[in-house]
Chain A
Amino acid sequence: MPPTNADVLQGTLDLLILKALSAESMHGWGVAQRIQQISRDVLHVNQGSLYPALHRLEQRGWIAASWGASDNNRRAKFYRLTATGRKQLQSEVATWRRFSAAIELVLAAG
């Protein structure tokens, strides 16, 4: 069991989803698992917000969806990053870096 269990910070979910999808296309459950895995079980995606977020990103045109078969041959909806989404990811990553660096600076100050 992980020592702490943080829900994904408000506003960073979009960034995490885009990042998770940047390597390969996957279904919603996979996105949640991937985020949890990479963060070594620190970040838990609230599944109730995951799907609304996926649909929102789809409507913005940052990700696209198509139906396909999963590893165990179930019908699953796969999401993948679009060109726009990739650009968006870059810009969100840059923003986040600036932001966390700023926080770090504040905390490091005596």
Chain B
Amino acid sequence: MPTAPIVDRIRGVLVRMRALWNRSAAERDLDDELRFHIAMETEAGERRGLSHDDARRRAVVAFGGIQRFREETRDTDRPRRLEEARADLAHAWRLVVSRPAFSAAVILTLGVGIGANTAIFSVVNAVLLRPSPFTDPDRLVMVWETDRASGTQHEPASWPDIVDFGERSRTLQSIGAMMGRDVTIARAGTGDRERVAGLAITPSVLSVLGVRVIAGRPFAEGEGRAGAQSVILLGEKYWRTRFAADPGIVGRTIMVDERPALVAGVLPAAAELGVRQIHERADYAETFSGTHVAVWLAFQPSADSFPRETHPFLTVGRLARGATVGAAQRELAGIAAHLERAYPVNAQRGVNVESYGSVVFGTVRPALALLFGAVTLLLLVTCANVANLLLARTAARAREVAVRVALGAARARIARQFLVESLVFVALGTASGVALAFGALRLLIALAPPDVPRIETASVDGRVLGYAAATAVLIALLFTALPVLQMRRLDLQHALKSHGGRLISLGRSSRRFQAGVIVAEVALTVMLVAGAGLLLRSLWRLSHVDPGFDAARVLEAQYQLPPTRYPFGVKRFPDLPEVNAFHTQLLAAVRAIPGVAAAALAGSPPLDAGFTNSFAIVGREAESAHFPEIRTRFLSPGYLETMGVPLLGGRAIANGDDAPSPNVIVINRAAARRYFPAVDPVGQSIRFWGTPRRIVGVIGDEKFRGIDAPSEPAVYAPLAQAPMQQATLLVRASHGDPMALVPAVRAALRQLDPAVPLFGVEPLAHAVQSSIAKPRFDAVLFAAFAATAIVLAVVGVYGVVSYTVTERMAELGIRMALGADRWHVVRLVAGMGMTLSAVGVALGLEAAYAGSRLLRSMVFGVTTTDPATFAAVVVLVMLTALAASVGPALRATRADPMQALRAES
């Protein structure tokens, strides 16, 4: 056959396509052509002398039937396969539309499963899967110092140590230091001041991380030296919100902590990845109060201002090409041992090198993996449910299929029809799921604890859609396999003989399969409910932990005194008259506000880790050398009344305990028990910062590092004997909402110094609540998944039991006719549902018991195999199963034997 020139061939294809897609137009053409032919034939007949009607009739007859003409031409016009697919699609669509309740159930169930799954995957995608903003992120490490005396593994490093590490190490290509430093920014024009999260970095940090500015230039080497011009980079978020993303800000000067600072450029939001997690990982750190870095400050420490004994720096390093974390650990440990020998202040100090990724994602990865696992269990439950719905429907359609098979339809053709049907269902389910995911994701981001890195960037992007589509395809294949396998066992004879409209029994194997699906569904539900139970119980425990203080009606607010007007002279310390006067005046002013029951100042906010210090008990110096560092906190008089912390012995810090007076401290009960088990600590002395301080009292234990941390030994020094430029104001309201006092407190502060802004203003109860935001987030999500699973399991069990009742109506009717009482029938039917559920519960418990180990790091105050929780889960799920079985069981008692027998004949 000669090859057709391409033009002719294309024309042919176009004709075919038109016939396929523009069906009505093609049909119209066909009709027109036919009408024309008949008309011509009729005229020819008339010319031969026939009457018009006669001629027309002959013409039509000669044509051999109009319908046949149409069918044959249509067959020519359309490729068979596509035509069939089109028919299948139309058929599937009719099925969807004809039983709206059934379809809605299938689509919504799938939607919930796929939606929840897609939403969580979006978070996993944003947090864990998206590429790192840093170049070669695998080569980034955190270098911590360790203290063998206290056992701490994540201490910030001293500047001279960092310099030594950098100079001597071969495994580290470069090294940089950073330190949280909240700053006050004065807005140009209005003069309004706001407190923002800042991060002081050595210029090398930018090259260590490998981040580029999005405007301006990075820090230059040497920038940030004491006495030189201050240079900053703006964080992208802050630049966008406060400076409307104005590139003109680069090169200008803004007031930072009341000093002019040059804006060198803008760093992308992604550059701050990990900053918060690093601060949280550290045993202690300077305040970094935000989630986002608003301002990056160039900073070049010197050994004069940061001697070897102070450890404020978070150290980030880049491994040399080919070096491993292990190699760096070994090499730096050697350098640290050398430093230990060379400098007495480095006694007991070692080094701990961790990969940057493990610090940033270390805690979030297992938590997200667990949530993803849970939501996948939920997806399986929804699939089981839908599988059951479809199974029941296939049974109802057995007759239709039997007739078609008997008429010669190929089984493959019928399988294809099932595939198209499940594709239609799954496509609609996935569409509703993705729509749901958009909403769910917004909720997730709003609910998420602030320490999940980059969660705010989570979105339904291409990868997420691809994931949803892949899930959908898998589910569609699964749903196709089920009825096809079922139909292979279909008994044609039986199906054809049965009466229209009656259910056709599933084969025994199909019924067993259906039972298996229910068992699996219940088992999966048990796993989810058990997980949710453990997390909820743990959350309940957490929220009932006594933090050691009474947070109700207490307001906390922070402020920082600018060094310009409140100088911090190391030489004069602790006699800083400006700072001390401010504290005294502020307290007096706040206490004078009506509605204030008590007020106090503290060096760091309650539940904030604050910092630790080495110390010695006077008279027990040799022994003290082995003591770990102790939490060191600062407070003003009135602290105990304001916070509701009990005084257990001696006296509290009083007004007279100021700079000129003898140094005093109070200690907490944990310190008293640990260091003075046999003697009364009151009257003993502790030395730190070079001065002996007499213990005047013992107070109750407060929680310092979040609510779930154990109580640690602590000393409290009077703020007046250890003044801080940054302090926390605590105000107890005599009644009602403490936030009502905020305007008056702000006014009092403004009167003292209008240039000092308050920040971090919130009820203390909020701070307590947000300290358990992460466990609450996990528990709430798990609970939501578990609740959904329970609802689905009820529907599933109900469906199966109900179906069985319908199927066995005749048998039950006969039993009743033969004298079985109602109670017997109820027991028979409900027993089936309960038996299936019991098997599911048993399997689920087994799996939950094994899997609950994964929850170990996430629970507090309960074991992961808590018997009470597991017992409650069993009771809850079995009651649910009972509730689902009772309805159909009662229906069974209404079986009418006569009707059943008639239907059978």
Contact = CB atoms under 8 A, between A and B. Distances in A.
Interface in A78-96: 82-85, 87-88, 91
Interface in B463-485: none
Given A48-B63, A48-B72, A74-B36, A58 B41 contact: no
B76 A55 contact: yes
B69 to A, nearest CB: 6
Contacts of A12: none
A48 B69 contact: yes
B32 interface: yes
Contact of B65 (A48, A59, A61): A48
Given A29-B36, A48-B63, A64-B11, A84 B4 contact: yes
Contact of A60 (B12, B36, B39): B12
Interface in B606-656: none
Given A27-B36, A52-B76, A47 B2 contact: no
Q: Which of B9, B29, B32, B33 has the most C-beta atoms of chain A within 10 angstroms of its own C-beta?
A: B33
B64 A61 contact: no
Contact of B37 (A47, A75, A88): A47
Nearest to B4: A84
B36 A61 contact: no
Contact of B5 (A52, A55, A84): A84
Contact of A29 (B5, B15, B29, B40): B40
B36 A55 contact: no
A27 B13 CA distance: 21
A77 interface: yes
Given A47-B62, A59-B12, A61-B11, A77 B76 contact: no
Contacts of A47: 37, 62-64, 69
Contacts of A83: 5, 8
B2 A87 contact: yes
Contacts of B39: 74
A85 B2 CA distance: 10
A62 B8 contact: yes
Nearest to A72: B43
A75 B39 CA distance: 11
Given A59-B12, A64-B11, A91 B33 contact: no
A58 B14 CA distance: 10
B29 to A, nearest CB: 7
Contacts, number: 92
Interface string A47-71: 1110110011011111011000010
B15 A48 contact: no
Contacts of B76: 52, 55-56, 59
A52 B5 CA distance: 23
A76 interface: yes
B36 A70 contact: yes
Contacts of B73: 51-52, 55
A72 B40 CA distance: 10
Q: Which of A49, A58, A65, A91 has the most C-beta atoms of chain B within 10 angstroms of its own C-beta?
A: A58
B2 to A, nearest CB: 5
Nearest to A53: B76
Contacts of A75: 32, 36
Nearest to B34: A51
B12 to A, nearest CB: 4
Given A29-B37, A77-B29, A84-B5, A58 B64 contact: no
A87 B7 CA distance: 15
Contacts of A77: 29, 32-33, 36
Nearest to A71: B40
B8 A29 contact: no
Interface in B693-715: none
A31 to B, nearest CB: 10
Contact of A58 (B4, B10, B12, B68): B12
Interface string A1-33: 000000000000000000000000001110000
Nearest to B63: A47
Contact of B8 (A49, A76, A84): A84
Given A29-B41, A48-B64, A52-B72, A59 B36 contact: no
A10 to B, nearest CB: 14
Contacts of A84: 2, 4-5, 8-9
A42 B76 CA distance: 27
A60 B15 CA distance: 10
A48 B60 CA distance: 10
B16 interface: yes
Contacts of B7: 61
A74 B42 CA distance: 14
A51 B15 contact: no
Nearest to A87: B2
Interface string B70-87: 001101110000000000
B2 A52 contact: no
A61 B13 CA distance: 8
B36 A76 contact: yes
B32 A59 contact: no
A1 B116 CA distance: 80
B1 interface: yes
Given A55-B77, A77-B32, A28 B4 contact: no
B64 to A, nearest CB: 4
A62 to B, nearest CB: 7
A47 B69 CA distance: 9
A77 B28 CA distance: 12
B2 A88 contact: yes
A64 B29 CA distance: 14
Nearest to A65: B15
A94 B698 CA distance: 118
A29 B43 CA distance: 12
Q: Which of A28, A70, A84 has the most C-beta atoms of chain B within 10 angstroms of its own C-beta?
A: A84
Contacts of B2: 84, 87-88, 91
A66 to B, nearest CB: 11
B44 to A, nearest CB: 8
A74 B69 CA distance: 21
Nearest to B30: A51
Given A27-B36, A59-B15, 11 more contacts: A28-B33, A28-B36, A59-B12, A64-B11, A65-B15, A70-B36, A76-B36, A77-B36, A84-B4, A88-B1, A88-B2
25 contacts: A27-B33, A29-B41, A47-B63, A48-B63, A48-B65, A48-B69, A48-B72, A51-B34, A51-B73, A52-B75, A55-B76, A55-B77, A58-B12, A59-B15, A59-B16, A59-B77, A60-B12, A61-B4, A61-B11, A64-B11, A70-B36, A76-B33, A83-B5, A87-B2, A88-B2
Interface of A: 27-29, 46-49, 51-52, 55-56, 58-62, 64-65, 70, 72, 74-77, 82-85, 87-88, 91
8 shortest interchain CB distances as A-B pairs: A61-B8, A48-B64, A61-B12, A29-B40, A84-B4, A84-B8, A52-B72, A59-B12
